[in-house]
Structure 1
Amino acid sequence: MSAVDRDAVTDTVIETRGLTKRFRGGQLAVDSLDLGVPAGSVFGFLGPNGSGKTTTIRMLMGLIAPTSGTATLLGHPVPRAARSVLPQVGALIEGPALYGFLSGRDNLIRYDSADPAADPHTRRARVAAALDRVGLTAAGGKKAKAYSLGMKQRLGLASALLQPRRLLVLDEPTNGLDPQGMREIRSLVRELAADGTTVFLSSHLLDEIEQVCTHAAVMARGRLVVQGPVAELAAGARGRLVVTTPDPARAARVLKEHGVTDLAVAQERVTGELPPGEIEPADLNAALVRADVRVRSFGVERASLEDAFVALTGEGFDVTG
């Protein structure tokens, strides 16, 4: 089997083993990272400020060398084989670098001209297709310096889509976009994944990750906390107890007596964190009934990825990095 054939059947498009980056002065930015990104996945990379996400991405793209450990993209070691593997990878990292005096279309033409593998005979058609895919056809003739932040993000994404890519690496791809633009980019990411492109994206928007990603990894203080399918990560966090009752004060008192914490009362709705241990939600419901609390509804809300993130890192969800 040829090297190309082996790459075609690999089931992991990004893999790191003990990947470590220590900067001058001793700052440990990434500490022994073991990461695996399945082929065909939309993989979310999460972590609070300073957690090592951007440093990891820069090592994966061959922009900086690791202190120790290994990383492979599409089965090839980086940074050693970066020149041969990166033409198969589209990337938008730390915002697009644009020539403000050129139009959006001419920026893409210049990007494409710098690619030795790009066919000049199909260049304009591919540029037009990339502009259309990110919704910038009407603004293609406008100078990039007049673009809004969201339009610049779109143009940067278009530059990553000029050629078919097996892997797309996106750093905060919806930064600066309005809600409609965010929905469009999420839809585009899903389309790319459906076409067979693996998408690796970092984001501080947990709702975005939960909506579009199939897998995710959580970083904290330079170390990998957890990785896996998004549904499993969310399932690992306990959901909140929700009780609807015309007797909210009495319900809150009973639940507190039975170990429920972080209680919140809003009109006839009482919520709280289930206590650890053997107590079952059904037992709590029975305790409410015995205390003459009129229960209109009782249940446990499904935990969100935000719940899992906070439980794993102790950090708030609105994080950047």
Structure 2
Amino acid sequence: MPGSAERAPSGAGCHPDAAIHTRALTKRYRGGQLAVDGLDLTVPRGSVFGFLGPNGSGKTTTIRMLMGLIEPTSGSAEVLGEPMPRAGRRVLPRVGALIEGPALYGFLSGRDNLVRFDAADPTADPRTRAARVDAALDRVGLVAAAGKKARAYSLGMKQRLGLAAALLQPRELLVLDEPTNGLDPQGMREIRTLVRELAADGTTVFLSSHLLDEIEQVCTHAAVMAQGRLLTQGTVAGLASSTRGRLAVTTPDTSDAVRVLKEHGVTDLVVVDDRVTGELPTGEPPEDAAPLDLADLNAALVHARVRVRAFGTERASLEDAFVALTGEGFDVAG
């Protein structure tokens, strides 16, 4: 156990307002494969931070570097204001983590697995171990299955047990790598509720996922990675608002509406029943052309005798922002 002289105060590093801060963090494997390329990431303290990207984008490699499990090729990382991996002995007792699925003893019960994990923590008081284990099991909904062998657990139950292990002690930072993997919709809702409760208690939650709708429902901030590079980061609301929403027109005169919208530069038009949607023009208008005004576009539809029952723009989502950034689709449903 580190001595008191070794422990630095929380936020003692160069970025006290950040739970995680990286500068040009890079990981190149043997053979030249570049898994993470110059990552500059800032996770505000107290945030629920969604770390987004398709499989293979470098998310898990980044998390493994942050937790000191692998060394970066170059660059630097601070966790809770301290350099990693150098300060790992001071930092890791303040961090709960579930990375690449839980590593469990299949021949032990769920409760006995947690007892083992708690006993391995040099900061854990053995006199209150049973109470901590029971509280963690209750928090993830595994009390009824606590006596069952872990090898008989479903994938979702194993994820829950891994979360329970991460929550045995109060944590300043919780790092979760695809925590809803294997969970049914009810389980996903319970994990979202748990994350919100932890954040309300002051824990910073760093949540890696490829499920955009999950991130949008629970996170305050997010970053998007693709092919090892950071594409953008910021508040969830800010990332979504950076992308203009689609125009939506409800009318029985869909053919005429499509013609008028095309004439005014609306693209990617889709007709479903009596609803027409399309992408509004972006960028600077052509020379001598006025910027497109939604009121003028509505007036043009009416002037062409298109019966407009509803007219407006749909709110952009994280999915829209991702597609705008990368030009690629994304798994939003799992």
Asked if these proteins are the same fold (TM beyond 0.5), I'd say: yes
Shorter-chain TM-score bucket reads over 0.9
Which sections of structure 1, spanning at least 5 residues, go unmatched?
A: none
The Cα of 1:148 is off from its aligned counterpart by 0.7
Please give the alpha-carbon distance, in whole angstroms, between the structure 2 residues aligned to 1:30 and 1:42. Answer: 22
Counterpart amino acid of residue 207 in structure 1: D
Residue number among 8, 21, 37 corresponding to 1:3 in the alignment: 8
Please give the alpha-carbon distance, in whole angstroms, between the structure 2 residues aligned to 1:100 and 1:52. Answer: 29
Q: Residue 4 of structure 1 aligns to a residue in which SS?
A: coil
Does structure 1 retain, via aligned residues, the 8 Å contact 2:246–2:313? Answer: yes
TM-score computed with the length of structure 1 as normaliser: 0.97
Moved beyond 3 Å, runs of 4+: 5-9
TM-score computed with the length of structure 2 as normaliser: 0.93
Please give the alpha-carbon distance, in whole angstroms, between the structure 2 residues aligned to 1:125 and 1:154. Answer: 18
Q: Residue 312 of structure 1 aligns to a residue in which SS?
A: helix
What is the count of residue pairs matched by the alignment?
Answer: 320
Residue number among 229, 232, 235 corresponding to 1:223 in the alignment: 229
Q: Which residue of 1 aligns with 2:3?
A: none
Residue number among 71, 74, 84 corresponding to 2:80 in the alignment: 74
Please give the alpha-carbon distance, in whole angstroms, between the structure 2 residues aligned to 1:32 and 1:218. Answer: 14
Residue number among 306, 314, 317 corresponding to 1:293 in the alignment: 306
State how 1:8-87 maps to structure 2 within 5 Å: 10-87=16-93
Could you give the per-residue CA deviations for residues 105-140 of structure 1, whole angstroms, max 9, x where no partner exists? 000000011111111000010000000000001110
Please give the alpha-carbon distance, in whole angstroms, between the structure 2 residues aligned to 1:260 and 1:6. Answer: 50
The Cα of 1:6 is off from its aligned counterpart by 4.3
Residue number among 160, 165, 176 corresponding to 1:170 in the alignment: 176
The Cα of 1:5 is off from its aligned counterpart by 5.4
Does structure 2 retain, via aligned residues, the 8 Å contact 1:47–1:319? Answer: no
- Percent of pairs with identical residues: 79
Counterpart amino acid of residue 326 in structure 2: T
Does structure 2 retain, via aligned residues, the 8 Å contact 1:73–1:85? Answer: yes
Question: Which stretch of structure 1 is more off in the superposition, 82-91 or 125-134?
Answer: 82-91
Please give the alpha-carbon distance, in whole angstroms, between the structure 2 residues aligned to 1:66 and 1:5. Answer: 23
Q: Which residue of 1 aligns with 2:288?
A: none
Q: Which residue of 1 aligns with 2:321?
A: 308
State how 1:188-199 maps to structure 2 within 5 Å: 188-199=194-205
Counterpart amino acid of residue 313 in structure 1: T
Does structure 2 retain, via aligned residues, the 8 Å contact 1:48–1:315? Answer: no
Could you give the per-residue CA deviations for residues 129-184 of structure 1, whole angstroms, max 9, x where no partner exists? 00000000111011111111111000000000000000000000111111111000
